[in-house]
Amino acid sequence: MAKKRENGQGSIFYRKDRQRWIYVYNVHGKQCSVSAKTQRELLRKKDEIDKKILNSEYIFNDDTSLLELLNYNLKIKSDLNLISDNSYGRIKETIKILEPISSKPIQKLTESDVLKFYKGLTIKYSDSTISKVVIQLKNAFNLAIKKNILYKSIVDTLKKPKSVKTKKIVEGLTINEQRKLQEVIHNSRYYLIYLIALNTGMRCGEILALNKKDIDFKNNLINIDKTITIDLNNKATIGSTTKTKNGIRKVPIISEKLKKELKEYLDNCNYDLLFSKEGEPIRVTVINSDLKRLNTKYNISHNIHTHQLRHTFATRCIESGMPAVVLAKLLGHSDVSITLNTYTSVFDEFQNKSLENMNIYLNRLFKTDSNIDSNQR
């Protein structure tokens, strides 16, 4: 039986069909290779590889896959604190989308492969998600050029694909559905989480990251400056900041019922973290599963999820006549245009009602004026 080569042990040979010198070596049981036009250039590359193996650095070679480059980029950014914990989790999700092509060595990826992948993106994902995927792909190709795996990027000349996915209409619960939910949420151990979401519009991850000092009863405010994220070990953890910079905000406790429930809950809470499993953070998926369980049991709405509670709060605010700029601040949107675009249908409906009210007002006003004129005549 042939003995396995140790790290760095390898062989050099010349391939006439490719007209290149090849160095084949072993790293952690995996056979790798690198090539060069001249033997001198290859020996220089071999020396660099041997030094990196000796120093236990990451090794790039002709077989380096797109996934390895994507993960390396992410690791470097994380190690240098160039991204937040929240961003790390979101980039990991973006990398997952690249799975159809990421296992292939980047040298073997063709323009046709990428175009076929792009076509699939347009059907399944929004323009926002597609942009994030393209950024990660370009970063990986640029890294491959820096590491002498490629001499040019095939993605730089390709146009960013445009989504053809039907835009999902954002819908909050109807008033009747909200009433029904509020009647049954006390049957859940996460009752207070749902009550907070319905009365503040906070994201579920923001609620799960709350600790005792974030509740200010004196000023009737909830401080939001962090969210739940997933760490390197795939565990729920408290992120260092919110989803976006504008997510850092204070929201008012306007409901007396919520204020009363919060006070009672805090008096009996044994941990600094308001919502936890024996002091450890809870995943958002756990709350989503519980809400779906309630929906199955009590038939609240056709499709319910925790983020819909945020939409429900926003919908009630718009129905009450709250200006978009005020709502944007409460929701932690970076720009009022995000609020207007997200809740277009609700604002349109409210606008129509406002116009009807204005029409009634004008009719009353000018009807009165008309009566005055006729009396004067």
The pLDDT assigned to 259 comes to 95
The pLDDT assigned to 235 comes to 81
pLDDT beneath 50: ranges in the chain: 1-8, 28, 56, 372
Assigned fold of 66-146: DNA polymerase; domain 1 (1.10.150)
Domain definitions of the chain by residue range: 10-54, 66-146, 175-309, 352-377
Q: What's the CA angle centered on 140, arms 134 and 143, to 5 degrees? A: 140
The pLDDT assigned to 30 comes to 59
Pairwise CA distance, residues 123 & 163, whole Å: 6
pLDDT digits (tens, 9 = 90+) for 145-185: 988 899 999 999 999 999 998 777 778 999 999 999 999 99
The pLDDT assigned to 246 comes to 74
pLDDT digits (tens, 9 = 90+) for 113-153: 999 999 999 999 999 999 999 999 999 999 999 888 999 99
**Residues 173, 299 contacting (CB under 8 angstroms):** no
**Tokens representing residue 242 in the block:** 């919110």
The pLDDT assigned to 198 comes to 96
* Element counts in the chain: helices (H) and strands (E): 15, 8
The pLDDT assigned to 80 comes to 65
Distances (CA, A) of 263 to 179, 183, 215: 23, 20, 9
Instruction: Give backbone dihedrals phi and psi of 230, rounded to 5 degrees, phi first.
Output: -110, 125
Cite the DSSP H helix spans in 244-283: 256-267
Neighbours of 146 (CB within 10 A): 10
Considering the domain delimited by 175-309, tell me its CATH architecture: Orthogonal Bundle (1.10)
Using DSSP, state whether 321 is helix, strand or coil: coil
The model's pTM is: 0.67
The pLDDT assigned to 105 comes to 94
Per DSSP, the residues of 26-93 read EETTEEEEEEESSHHHHHHHHHHHHHHHHTT-----TT-BHHHHHHHHHHHHHHTT-S-HHHHHHHHH
